[in-house]
Structure 1
Amino acid sequence: MMKRNLLVIGLATLLGACGFQLRGVGSGEFALKELALDARNSYGETTRLTEAQLQGYGVRLHAGAPYKLVLVREEEKQRTASYTGSVRSAEYELNRTLDYQIRGSKNLLLLEDQASVQKIYLHDGSNLIGSDQEASQLRDEMRAELVQQLVMRLQRLTPAQLDQLQADAEARLRAEQEALEAARKAEAEATAPQQSPLQLPLQLR
């Protein structure tokens, strides 16, 4: 466990030191100064690395923040990419995805997206230990790249943009509630018993 924690810290330091600068993101400043963070696997490596990255850029993470980052689901798929000359060796393609959301007041969904990374590695049947170590290292690199993609996208968001998304989400919610209420009222009127017209007694002269 200690080794894993050191790896997470090392990756976070490496990405914070040069990853964003090399990709031309700029100074690394965040317009969002605070966020709540929620994840299905709260103690997973991806969550820890995300926390380290955001805090490294000065983002305060706390439950009372106006907007919440939700790490919804992380998945990995593997398939055989190709076979080499040796029957016991093959190239494998790893696909790793991270679905995430931004939620605002009243837990309204403001936006959702997916980060994805693909890598290919050689599995040598005659060197299983070496192949497994390479695959494990590759998975760590892919996780770090997923978090890097996520943080880069968050870096582009501004409070004004999220405020507008919040207003749009609230307007959609009101429209849906009004439409539902109108449908209920129409249904109630359609199923209400019909009253016969009041008949007055005839007066004989």
Structure 2
Amino acid sequence: MRIAALVAVTLLVAGCSHPAGDNAGRPQTTPESSAGAAPTTTAPSGSKPPAPAGAPASGAAISDVVAWIEAGHPADPSGYHSATREGATTPLGNDIALTAQGGKVSCMTDVKHTGGALACLVSLTNPPPRPDTAYGDWKGGWVDFDGTNLQVGSARADPGPFLNGNGPELAGGDSLSFGDYRCRADQSGLLCVNYAHQSAVRFATAGIQPFGCLKSAPPPDGVGAAFRC
């Protein structure tokens, strides 16, 4: 009996002492056990980059210019279809008229004659000088912008669309959409983008600043300075 009991105990110990395999003595890990791993985040697909905090400076990318303009509070276009001169207000139909910088920047469209291109009168501190090729009344602050061409300074025989006066003031921080354009006003002037050609211009008393595809080019006869895409 004593021998039989010893044999049973021996077999029991042998059955419980089999090898643990390759994982013996190693801690088991899971992806969640990696201490200190920071979660990764990605921007939502199709999200827009944040707008610059301040108005874009000279040489800014057109994407930054557009983002800043679009960050402005949208104004109601219905309030910008008239012009006022000496107290008389004239409806402009589908055309748009607006001012900025306390009336020192005045812009209008003229669908009938220019297809909706933007024309502005700016009280420039340093307007371009009158070229020898200019004939007529020189307007150094007359600016034409159609998306692919920007011309500063022009000899004008008549006031063109400004015969009816000026449009309402676009408040600082507000933006206005019309045609291919969207403009935003602030203390630095009026910044307008032409979506069709991904070009933009800042109209301000301190100067006219092109963005996007607009590059300096030889001005045509009767024009002070020119930029083209």
What TM-score results when the alignment is normalised by the length of structure 1? 0.25
Bigger fraction of residues in helix: 1
Bigger fraction of residues in strand: 2
